[in-house]
Amino acid sequence: MVPMRDGVRLSADVIRPEAPGRYPVLVTRGPYGKDGYVDNPDHSVWFFPKHGYVVVSQDCRARFGSEGESYDPLFQEIQDGYDTVEWAARQPWSNGRVGTTGQSYLGATQYTLAASNPLPPHLQAMAPVSASSDFHQSWVYHTGGAMEWGWMVPYAIHKGKNTLARQGHDALLEKVNEYLLPADNFAQPLHDEWYRHLPLADWVDRLKETAPYFGEYLSNERDGPYWWKINLLHHLKGITVPMFHVSSWYDIFLEGALNAYRAIREEGGSELARRSQKLLVGPWAHIRPYTSPTSGDTGDIDFGDDARIELHDYLLRWFDYWLKDIDTGIMDDPPVNLFIMGENRWRYENEWPLARTHYTKYYFHAESPANSRQGSGTLSTSPPGDEPPDSYLYDPNDPVPTLGGNTLIIPQGVADQRPVEDRQDVLVYTSEPLERDLEITGPIKVHIFASTSAVDTDFTAKLVDVRPDGYAHNLQDGIIRARFRTSGSEPSMITPGQVYSFTIDLWATSHLVRSGHRLRVEVSSSNFPRFDRNPNTGAPLGQDRNLEAARQEIHHSAQYPSHIVLPIIPR
C-alpha cells in the first residue's frame, strides 16, 4: 500500500528479479485491476523482471485494491503518479532510477504525469503507448470539436462497474449492464437505441454513481483551462526526460504520440529531452503492438509478417540504455520508425513530419451532382473552374454510419466504405487510376468551402484508397463542428446560407497507394456513433431532445476551391 501525499494509500504489486539487490524500477499505473496482469505471463509485469527490473504495478486511486473516495480519471494521475515514482525510488530494492511504461490508460497516466511540471526528480525515462497527450483532442472530444461518442458512455460503464461494486450498488450494476451489447470481452458497445437516446445530458444522471465525472466532460465542451491542466502540450517546459512514444495509424489516440513527439522535440524543457525523443507508429488499431497478429486486429486486412512485432524488445533496448547505461544502439537509430502501409514495411526517418514532403492539393470537381459513388465527383491536382456546388440533406435522424477507422469499442480499422458511399448524403470525389505508386506519409487536411441552412452543423471528410476491384479502403477521417471552425475555445455560430471556410484535420497516415488504385475523398456531415450527432440547432451540447435536418452545400470553383492537402513523399 503506497502512501500518497494526502494519506490515501494505493495498492501496488511489486515484481522483482529472483536475485537480491537494487534494481531500476518501472512504474505502470492503471484503472483496470492490477491483479489481472499477474495472470498473463506475456505481460510487462513479468517480462521486465526477467531482464533485471523491478516492476511496480499499481491500481489508480479509488480503483480495485486502492483507497480513495472517488475516481476522477486522468486528473488525479498527476500527483499520484509523481508520489508513486518518488516512493519507488526510496525502496530498498530500488537503485533510485525510475522509468514508466504502459499502454492505453496506462499510457495516459504517463502523459498526465508529464504535465506535473516539474517532473519527479528520480524519473529518468518514459514509454507511453497508445495514449492521448491532449485529452480534448482525442479522448473525450476529437480534433474539430465533436465528442467521441462511440466509446465515451460504454467506456464509462465498463470502468464504473468497479465503482458500483466498491459501493455495493448491485442492482445498479445489473441495470447499467442492460445498456451494453452482450460480448465475451471488454469491448461492449451500447445497444443502438442507447447511442441514439436524447437528450445526451440524460447520461449525466444515469451515470451519476457509475461515472460522476461524466457531467464535467459534457459541460466542458470547449477546450480551455479545465483540459489544459492535463494537456502535455501546455507543460512542455517542464518535460526534461527522454520519452519513447508508440502509437498506430488506426489508433483512436494517434494524435497523442505524433503531437507529443514533435512538441517535445521542438519545445521540451531540456536539451536532453529535446534530443532524446523516439517515435514508433505501426499499422494496428488500439492495443495491438505487443506480439501483434498480422490480420484480424485492424479490420479486414492483413498487413503482412512485418506488422507483427514484440514491442517489449524495443522497450527493453530503451530502458537498458536510459536506466542501466547499456549502449544498446537504440540512440544510434534514427528517432522515427514508421510502418508504411500498402508497402507493408518499416522505415526509419529523421523527423516528423518528413522534411522531404511535397504537400500537394487535390481539388474537388463535379459538373453534375457528386452524391454517392455513382455521382460525377472527381479529384485531381487541377484547380476547379466555374462549377456548381454540390448539395445534400444532412438529417441527424438518419446519420451516416461509422465503418471502421480510428475508433475504440465499436469496430476499428479497415472496412469497405462502399455501403456509406452509396448514400445520397455522402459526396464522393474520385481520381483517375494512378499511373504510378503514390506514397502518402504525414499530416492530412481537407479544406472545404461550405454553406448550410443551420446556425451550427458538422462536416466530415474521409480519405479512401479505392482498389481495382472497387474495395474502398479507409485511410483516415475527421470532423469539424461549425461553431469551432476558428477556435476550440471560443465557439461562434454561423449565418445560414453564407459560405465559410472549414478545415477538417484528418490527423496523419503512412500508406502507399499502388498504381491502378484511385484516391477518393468523401464529404458528409456525420459519422455515427463514433461522433455525436450535431442536431443543427446551435443549442449547448447534450440539451436537444429533437433533431433538425440541414441543407448543406459544398463549393468547388475558382472562388471556392475545396481540396485535400496530401503529404506526398517522393520515391
Is the same domain home to 338 and 372?
A: no
Mean pLDDT (whole number) for 485-495: 97
295 versus 7: which is more confidently predicted?
A: 7
pLDDT at 482: 98
Radius of gyration of the chain (CA): 24
Answer yes or no: 422 catalytic. Answer: no
For 559, the grid coordinates are 472562388
Tell me, yes or no, whether 463 lies in a domain.
Answer: yes
Residue 294 predicted with pLDDT over 50: no
Q: Left, alpha or beta for 64 (phi > 0: left; psi -120 to 50: alpha)?
A: left
Tell me, yes or no, whether 532 lies in a domain.
Answer: yes
Cβ atoms 542, 163 nearer than 8 A = no
What does the alpha-carbon distance between residue 551 and residue 376 come to, in Å, rounded to a whole number? 20
For 202, the grid coordinates are 440524460
Is the same domain home to 94 and 171?
A: no
Q: What is the pLDDT of residues 169-188, one digit of tens each?
A: 988 988 888 999 987 777 79
pLDDT at 289: 55
Q: At CB < 8 A and 24+ separation, what contacts does 461-464 make?
A: 461/504, 461/506, 461/521, 461/522, 461/523, 461/564, 462/405, 462/417, 462/506, 462/521, 462/522, 462/527, 463/506, 463/509, 463/519, 463/520, 463/521, 463/564, 463/566, 464/417, 464/519, 464/520, 464/521, 464/522
Is the same domain home to 124 and 85?
A: yes
pLDDT at 288: 63
Q: What is the pLDDT of residues 379-417, one digit of tens each?
A: 999 999 999 999 999 999 999 999 999 999 999 999 999
Considering 136, 286, 312, 511, which one is annotated as catalytic? Answer: 286
Q: What is the pLDDT of residues 296-310, one digit of tens each?
A: 478 889 898 899 899
Answer yes or no: 251 catalytic. Answer: yes
Closest CA to 231 of 358, 328, 109, 133: 133
Domain endpoint, select from 280, 315, 349: 349
Q: How many CB atoms lie within 10 A of CB 515?
A: 11
Cell 508504411 sits at which residue? 340
Is the same domain home to 424 and 300?
A: no
Strand intervals (E) in 75-187:
94-103, 123-129
For 172, the grid coordinates are 445498479
Tell me, yes or no, whether 95 lies in a domain.
Answer: yes
Alpha helices in 4-148 (DSSP H): 44-47, 77-90, 105-113, 135-138
Q: For residue 178, what are the domain limits?
A: 149-220
Residue 24 predicted with pLDDT over 70: yes
Closest CA to 354 of 439, 466, 426, 228: 439
Is the same domain home to 264 and 170?
A: no
Tell me, yes or no, whether 472 lies in a domain.
Answer: yes
pLDDT-derived band at 295 (thresholds 50, 70, 90) equals very low
Residue 547 predicted with pLDDT over 80: yes
Residue type, 92: P
Cell 464522393 sits at which residue? 428
Domain endpoint, select from 220, 243, 278: 220
Treating both helix axes as pointing N-terminal to C-terminal, what angle do 77-90 and 105-113 enclose, rounded to 10 degrees?
A: 80
Is the same domain home to 155 and 14?
A: no
Answer yes or no: 380 catalytic. Answer: no
Domain endpoint, select from 158, 191, 220: 220
The overall average pLDDT reported for the chain is 95
**What percent of the chain has a predicted confidence (pLDDT) above 70?**
98
Tell me, yes or no, whether 144 lies in a domain.
Answer: no
Is the same domain home to 316 and 448?
A: no
**What percent of the chain has a predicted confidence (pLDDT) above 90?**
91
pLDDT-derived band at 274 (thresholds 50, 70, 90) equals very high
- The structural domain count of the chain equals 3
Is the same domain home to 461 and 485?
A: yes
Is the same domain home to 133 and 163?
A: no
pLDDT-derived band at 325 (thresholds 50, 70, 90) equals very high
Mean pLDDT (whole number) for 330-350: 97
Q: How many CB atoms lie within 10 A of CB 497?
A: 10
What does the alpha-carbon distance between residue 204 and residue 210 come to, in Å, rounded to a whole number? 10
Mean pLDDT (whole number) for 128-141: 96
pLDDT at 205: 95
- Max distance between CA atoms of the chain, in angstroms, equals 78
Residue 123 predicted with pLDDT over 90: yes
Q: What is the pLDDT of residues 26-51, one digit of tens each?
A: 999 999 999 999 888 888 999 999 99
CATH classification of the domain holding 314: 3.40.50.1820
Tell me, yes or no, whether 276 lies in a domain.
Answer: yes
pLDDT at 293: 44
pLDDT-derived band at 292 (thresholds 50, 70, 90) equals very low
Q: How many CB atoms lie within 10 A of CB 496?
A: 13
What does the alpha-carbon distance between residue 131 and residue 73 come to, in Å, rounded to a whole number? 14
Is the same domain home to 335 and 374?
A: no
Tell me, yes or no, whether 509 lies in a domain.
Answer: yes
CATH classification of the domain holding 523: 2.60.120.260
Is the same domain home to 474 and 412?
A: yes
Is the same domain home to 14 and 51?
A: yes
Tell me, yes or no, whether 493 lies in a domain.
Answer: yes
Considering 104, 116, 132, 138, which one is annotated as catalytic? Answer: 104
pLDDT at 290: 54
